């Protein structure tokens, strides 16, 4: 089963376009354009990918239907909008726990993609310091299904403010 990696979708297209353009402009300036185009193709994307995060969360939920994951995870139930970045970072830390404990490659691949997408989407908010928010260890531990439901609610907060 192949996992979609939307954070890599346009990389090869950008390189092919640069190469195609440079066939016609084989000058020093054309070579510079080609090199800069290849570099920009490999840079991380900063546009919001929250809808892709939701899709991967749904895929993850589908995957765990057939596998019993007996884990209690720190879960933010009612995050204040001023604490959404802190809450998201906690969710991502807990995803790492599932990744480390899972032997299922589909689950591991989906979690890896989720973490990359969420961190990419979070990059514009990642340096924000939020005060008065609960630390991860202060949150209540919930089962995986409740964890995912709350995770989707936090992602929806990001979608609604972007």
**Mean pLDDT, rounded, for 102-113:** 91
- Verify that 62 and 36 share a domain, yes or no: no
- pTM of model > 0.75: no
Q: What percent of the chain has pLDDT over 90?
A: 40
CATH of the domain at 120: 1.20.1250.70
Does residue 71 surpass a pLDDT of 60?
Answer: yes
- Verify that 37 and 57 share a domain, yes or no: no
pLDDT at 141: 95
Residue 83 makes CB contacts below 8 A (sequence gap 6+) with 76, 130, 132, 133, 134
- Verify that 75 and 135 share a domain, yes or no: yes
**Mean pLDDT, rounded, for 64-81:** 86
Half-sphere exposure (Cβ direction) of 61: Cα atoms closer than 13 Å:
15
pLDDT at 55: 92
**Mean pLDDT, rounded, for 123-142:** 84
Domain count, the chain: 2
Reduced to 3 states (helix: H, G, I; strand: E, B; else coil), residue 75 is strand
pLDDT at 48: 46
Domain presence at residue 91: yes
Domain span holding position 89 = 50-160
- CA dist 142 and 91 (Å) reads 12
Angle, in degrees to the nearest 10, between helices 28-42 and 11-24: 180
Does residue 139 surpass a pLDDT of 80?
Answer: yes
Strand partners, 73: 142
Domain presence at residue 1: no
- CA dist 22 and 34 (Å) reads 7
pLDDT tens-digit profile of 16-54?
555 555 555 556 656 655 565 556 555 554 454 889 999
The sign of the dihedral angle between the CA atoms of 102, 69, 65, 152 is: negative
- Verify that 132 and 113 share a domain, yes or no: yes
Does residue 68 surpass a pLDDT of 60?
Answer: yes
pLDDT at 46: 45
Domain presence at residue 3: no
Domain presence at residue 151: yes
- Verify that 129 and 151 share a domain, yes or no: yes
Domain presence at residue 152: yes
pLDDT tens-digit profile of 85-94?
999 999 999 9
């Amino acid at each position: 089963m192949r996992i979609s990696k939307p954070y890599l979708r346009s990389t090869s297209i950008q390189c092919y376009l640069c190469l195609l353009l440079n066939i016609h402009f084989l000058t020093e300036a054309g070579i510079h354009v080609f090199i800069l185009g290849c570099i920009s193709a490999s840079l991380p994307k900063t546009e919001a990918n929250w809808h892709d995060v939701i899709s991967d969360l749904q895929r993850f939920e589908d995957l765990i239907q057939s596998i019993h994951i007996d884990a209690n995870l720190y879960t933010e139930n009612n995050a204040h909008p001023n604490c959404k970045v802190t809450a998201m970072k906690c969710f991502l830390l807990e995803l790492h726990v599932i990744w480390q404990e899972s032997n299922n490659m589909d689950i591991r691949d989906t979690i890896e993609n989720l973490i990359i997408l969420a961190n990419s989407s979070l990059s514009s908010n990642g340096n924000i310091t939020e005060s008065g928010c609960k630390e991860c260890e202060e949150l209540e531990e919930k089962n995986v299904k409740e964890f995912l439901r709350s995770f989707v609610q936090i992602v929806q907060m990001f979608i609604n403010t972007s």
